[in-house]
Structure 1
Amino acid sequence: MFLNLYLKGKNSMKKMKKHTRETVLTGIVLIALSAFLYFLHYEVFHDLHHTLIFLFEDIAFIPIDVFFTALVIEKFLDKRDIAHKLEKLIIIKGVFFSELGDKILKEFAKCDKNVKLISDEAHISKEWGKEEFRKLEKLLKEYDFEVEVENLDIEKVSKILNDKKDFIISIITNPTLMEHESFSDMAISLFHLRDELQDRYFKMEYECGCYDRQHLAKDIKVSYRLMVNGWVMYMKHLKEEYPQLFVKEMINNPFDNRSFEEKFEVYKLKSKNKKNS
């Protein structure tokens, strides 16, 4: 799998080099063509004075043209492109956490004996601002993310990862997400964990009982850390840009084990049951 990704990366680098050579060659051809047309203009009209006037007039216009095309119009288009990519990124992240991220985080958190240290601080609400997120991010930097593998429902985690294998691969190979290194690293770590469970853990554990659980614990620790940090960044962005989606994810907080009724009451949301009664 990773060999295929490496080969794809090499092929994309080759394509970039080829594209650069083609751009340089195109530039040389266009400049040569321009020089030929100016020469042809002089040969036809025998008027060097006006030919030079047109030439310098065109050259003088280049900085203004560059300013409007490269700085003004291009920046405007870049902003639109960035906004479009961010929207796509939020949608993909939302699907990721709803499809498998929240489920796996809950399984990891269940077997994290020190989870109270972060879960109490991770009850993200509508009142949160930049300062609250900053405090949580600071706490996570110092947190150990130690999962007790012997208490983990490994078969359940493995099934979730295996069922969503194609989705994880699509995230790893998605060009939009490649620019967001942390999210891509998280997807790669989960795919590696899935391979570790499928190809080594179940075979070795059931055949000889000789699997090194410390190795699995390290892989889980990496995925756990990346997922929690990715989830906090996702919640922070939703809070700033997508308040309706934020409320939904706030209720589905993987670190909040309170019942839906308690959450509705604490967060002062309208319960459907109360509305219908």
Structure 2
Amino acid sequence: MKKRRKETFIIGGALIALSLLLHYGHYLIFNDLHHTLIFLFADIAFIPMEVFFTTLVLDKFLEKRQNQHLFEKLNMIIGVFYTEVGTRLLHEFAESDDDIEDLKENAIVNLNCNETTFKQLEKIVENHKYEVNMGKVDLNSLRNLLDNEKDLLINLITNPTLLEHEEFTEMMMSIMHLREELDSRCSEHMEDYEINHISADISKAYGYLAKEWVRYMKYLKDNYPQLFIKAVISNPFDGRDKKEKDCVLLDRK
């Protein structure tokens, strides 16, 4: 850091010295101190305006474009996650949730959903108590699912883009932790404390998955209607069969 700062001062000093030298050369050639000083002070007077346009206007514009690009890239990664493993995980957890009826009644998304609808849905999902009935959880199936998608999960969690999305990163960490716990603890003779530990890990991952799912559905609705329709059909909280969902979507087109 000190070396870089030193280089900055050296380059800055060299540029200022070069500017003064060129103005001095201008004076020697034309022997006109009056106009040389006019040009010099005109250049200095222009600096604040140049700083304004370059640092506040241009930089803000470039930063906005960069953030939009980052947002698009981030949602593409989230889309890959839910397509490959996230939606299946949510199905597994939702089927083991004894209080899922509350979500089933309110988490039905369709083509008529708008900004207000999704805000209401976010509140409902935020306030849901995420607990699973361990008697309904197939731990072997869950472990196999996470083990089969291990490479994808590792690639996603090591993607530097996700550092900009703290909640999604936390969700991925909770899922990776759950996979490790299942690999180390899952057996036919598990102790009660081990079952309780895994239950808590599942509930944590379940909550993250549901909340991120709502945000992802809103993004698809706003930007990719065709992908949104596919996501509606695979809605893990919608208990209707695929044929009924298809009919409703066709009627609304």
Q: TM-score, with normalisation over the residues of structure 2?
A: 0.88
Distance (whole Å) between structure 1 residues aligned to residue 118 and residue 245 of structure 2: 20
Query: Over residues 203-226 of structure 1, what are the superposed CA-to-partner deviations in whole Å (9 max), with x where a residue is unaligned?
Result: xx44x5335211111111110000
> Who is 1:158 aligned against?
143
User: Contact 1:89 / 1:176 at 8 angstroms: preserved in 2?
Assistant: yes
> Who is 2:154 aligned against?
169
> Who is 2:113 aligned against?
128
Distance (whole Å) between structure 2 residues aligned to residue 269 and residue 192 of structure 1: 43
Q: Secondary structure at the match of 2:250?
A: coil
Deviation at 1:41, TM superposition (A): 4.4
Which residue identity is paired with 1:28? Answer: F
> Who is 1:233 aligned against?
215
Which residue identity is paired with 1:63? Answer: P
Amino-acid identity (%) = 40
Matching of residues 106-121 of structure 1 within 5 Å:
106-121=91-106
Matching of residues 12-27 of structure 1 within 5 Å:
18=1, 21=2, 23-27=4-8
Deviation at 1:229, TM superposition (A): 0.0
> Who is 1:265 aligned against?
247
Q: Secondary structure at the match of 2:62?
A: helix
Which residue identity is paired with 1:234? Answer: Y
Q: Secondary structure at the match of 1:77?
A: helix
How many residues align? The count is 248
> Who is 2:170 aligned against?
185
Matching of residues 53-132 of structure 1 within 5 Å:
53-132=38-117
User: Contact 2:104 / 2:239 at 8 angstroms: preserved in 1?
Assistant: no
> Who is 1:224 aligned against?
206
Match of 1:213 among 169, 189, 195: 195
Deviation at 1:101, TM superposition (A): 0.5
Distance (whole Å) between structure 1 residues aligned to residue 15 and residue 102 of structure 2: 69
Kindly tell me: are residues 43 and 131 of structure 1, through their superposed partners in 2, closer, same or farther at Cα, counting changes over 3 Å?
closer
Kindly tell me: are residues 22 and 180 of structure 1, through their superposed partners in 2, closer, same or farther at Cα, counting changes over 3 Å?
farther
Tell me which moved more, 66-75 or 259-268: 66-75
Query: Over residues 158-199 of structure 1, what are the superposed CA-to-partner deviations in whole Å (9 max), with x where a residue is unaligned?
Result: 111111112112222212111111111111110010011112
Q: TM-score, with normalisation over the residues of structure 1?
A: 0.81
Deviation at 1:237, TM superposition (A): 1.5
Q: Secondary structure at the match of 2:125?
A: helix
1:28 aligns with 2:24: no
Query: Over residues 69-111 of structure 1, what are the superposed CA-to-partner deviations in whole Å (9 max), with x where a residue is unaligned?
Result: 2233222322322222222122211111110001110010111
> Who is 2:237 aligned against?
255
Unaligned runs of at least 5 residues, structure 1 = 1-17, 271-277
User: Contact 1:41 / 1:51 at 8 angstroms: preserved in 2?
Assistant: no
Kindly tell me: are residues 269 and 190 of structure 1, through their superposed partners in 2, closer, same or farther at Cα, counting changes over 3 Å?
farther
> Who is 1:6 aligned against?
none
Kindly tell me: are residues 77 and 38 of structure 1, through their superposed partners in 2, closer, same or farther at Cα, counting changes over 3 Å?
closer
Alpha-carbon RMSD: 2.3
Distance (whole Å) between structure 2 residues aligned to residue 39 and residue 261 of structure 1: 78
User: Contact 1:171 / 1:184 at 8 angstroms: preserved in 2?
Assistant: no
